[in-house]
Amino acid sequence: MSSIKCECGHVNPEGTDICQNCGRPLSAEEKEKRLADMRYDGAAIRSMTHKRSIVDKVWNFFSSVKIGVSIIIAILVAAAIGTFLPQVFYVPAANEAQAAQYYEEHYGTFGKIYNALGLSDLYGSWWFMALVGLLGISLVVVSLDRGIPLYKSLKNQRTARHPSFMKRQRLFGEGKVADPDAVMAKAKEKLKEERYRIKEEDGAILAEKGRWSRWGPYVNHAGLIIFLLGVMLRALPGFYVDESMWIREGETLAVKGAPGLFIENKGFSYEVYSKDNAKEVFGEAIDRVGTVASKYQTDVALYKQPENALPGSTEKEYVKDYSIVVNKPLKYEGYSIFQMDFKLDELKSMTFALENKETEKPVGELTIDLANPEKEYDLGNGSKVRILDYYPDFSGFEDGEPQSATPIPNNPAFLFKMFTPEKPEGETSFVAIRQTLEPLGENEYRMAFQNADTRNVSGLTIRKDKTIPIISLGGLIFLLGVAQSSYFNHRRFWIRRTEDGKLLVAGHTNKNWVALKRELDKAAEYAGLPKYSDQRDPEEAIDANTEGDSKA
């Protein structure tokens, strides 16, 4: 690795812009500039010193801010494209074929192409995740590449800087004063009052404050890296549970994804705002909109398997009662159970009467539990009804066979065999809602529908996310880092006495120059420092007559 020796004798690594000892410009580029490039305090960042090996080349690629911003823009554009149409997980489709059909049916050719290109699952695609991964690598590399040299440079900075360094600062002033030492002493006093830390070296002062704000970018990058690591952890088994289940009123079921937990649905309620129960001010809106839901609530009891339970035992220990509503999940042992969905008035049971078709005289009644139908119902006096087949969600006939679309009793149908003293060999009847078929010839008896009971069904989601503490920590560190670099400033003043009795003053801040000038004004006025000027873009210099004279 080559190095550059400065006039002052200090040896700087290759790629250094400003001598780390005295502040003279070193690189040809830097010498050309009217104002010093104070990024990283002119220190050589790693990507400028190591350029040989493949590792260096990869490192230099990721350390480039240009590349970093390009990755950010690529993610931004991709994310936007993903909002053109609903993503596949918001679409009612159980599989890829259904999804393809949905996109084509609803969004035409555009939808077909969108889905075919994989844009309907853009955020889960390998290339989107790869982009986020590249951003993560870039964050790590760029922080190390710049953070470490900057830290070293600021830690080892010298108090006395060469006049060429000071002249090339944005705020610079020089002039003769009567008693340089007295002026410097007073300036020191005032800057101390402004809470600057002062370092002195024969005839030179460095006043500095807020250096820690320079670490803000690296802190927030570290937070983002932790956040991304947390998200990656979710792919490991055991860190992340995401299940959903339907549970009917009155049922007790094992909680999906949470071994050993059981939940009983004690009742689901759905409420809407009405003029009677809502505040008067809502009246107009209720009239205009019609139905506005006010509450979805599932009352549950939670049970758990005792710790010493034998495998396969159904023993349950009561834990607690809870009312799950939206925004208030049931939380237990790291699991959260959310109110996510519901179905009102699902059929629970149906009651039929076995009766003689001619006389309409009932032989007896039977009630079928639709979730758990019995095989045979004995009506006494030699009459019984057998269920030959049950189609909970009857959807029509295929090749003469009745079909059930789902196992949910949305549209129950039965194939009954009715036994009566008159017909001991039995009569067969197919009964669906508003439809009766007698496939094996005319019957004497029929099953007459009497009534049905319904119940509500709650849709619950079960989550467990062990990565939340890591993700939260990452988010917190990010926020602290952003605040650190946004709301605090690194300010420095250099004051130096020259051999010919002149005073040089220079000031630098990483941002908010208005406030820096205000503080320098105070010190200059109090101590009688030479007048300074803002050397940036003289053609845009503040015109005294224009408004906004930045005296704020």
For 72, the token pair is 């950010």
Identity of the residue numbered 8:
C
For the CB of residue 472, give the shortest distance to other proteins in the complex, in Å. Answer: 9
Which H, E and C letters describe 95-134, residue by residue? CHHHHHHHHHHHHHHHHHHHHHCCHHHHHHCHHHHHHHHH
- Buried b / exposed e across 88-98, counting CB within 10 Å, b at 16+? beeeebeeeee
Q: Which is nearer to other proteins, 156 or 486 (CB)?
A: 486
Q: Which is nearer to other proteins, 422 or 549 (CB)?
A: 549
For the CB of residue 251, give the shortest distance to other proteins in the complex, in Å. Answer: 21
For the CB of residue 469, give the shortest distance to other proteins in the complex, in Å. Answer: 12
For the CB of residue 83, give the shortest distance to other proteins in the complex, in Å. Answer: 4
| C-alpha torsion sign, points 510, 511, 517, 523 | negative
Answer for the pair 413, 402: CB distance below 8 angstroms, yes or no: yes
Answer for the pair 68, 81: CB distance below 8 angstroms, yes or no: no
For the CB of residue 299, give the shortest distance to other proteins in the complex, in Å. Answer: 15
Question: Cα-flanking dihedrals φ and ψ of residue 357, to 5°?
Answer: -60, -40
Question: Under DSSP, is residue 405 helix (H, G, I), strand (E, B) or coil?
Answer: coil
Q: Which is nearer to other proteins, 69 or 185 (CB)?
A: 69
Q: Which is nearer to other proteins, 79 or 440 (CB)?
A: 79
Alpha helix positions (H), 117-215: 126-155, 163-167, 180-193
Q: Which is nearer to other proteins, 21 or 220 (CB)?
A: 220
For 364, the token pair is 């007896």
d(CA 96, CA 91): 11
For the CB of residue 300, give the shortest distance to other proteins in the complex, in Å. Answer: 16
For the CB of residue 471, give the shortest distance to other proteins in the complex, in Å. Answer: 7
Q: Which is nearer to other proteins, 64 or 395 (CB)?
A: 64
d(CA 244, CA 341): 10
d(CA 376, CA 384): 7
Q: Which is nearer to other proteins, 89 or 318 (CB)?
A: 89
For the CB of residue 273, give the shortest distance to other proteins in the complex, in Å. Answer: 5
Q: Which is nearer to other proteins, 142 or 503 (CB)?
A: 142
For 144, the token pair is 């190390």
For 123, the token pair is 């955020």
d(CA 52, CA 435): 83
Q: Which is nearer to other proteins, 134 or 198 (CB)?
A: 134
In Å, how far from its chain's centre is CA 393? Answer: 39
For the CB of residue 479, give the shortest distance to other proteins in the complex, in Å. Answer: 6
- How many beta carbons lie within 10 A of that of residue 312, not counting itself? 5
d(CA 203, CA 182): 11
For 271, the token pair is 């409420």
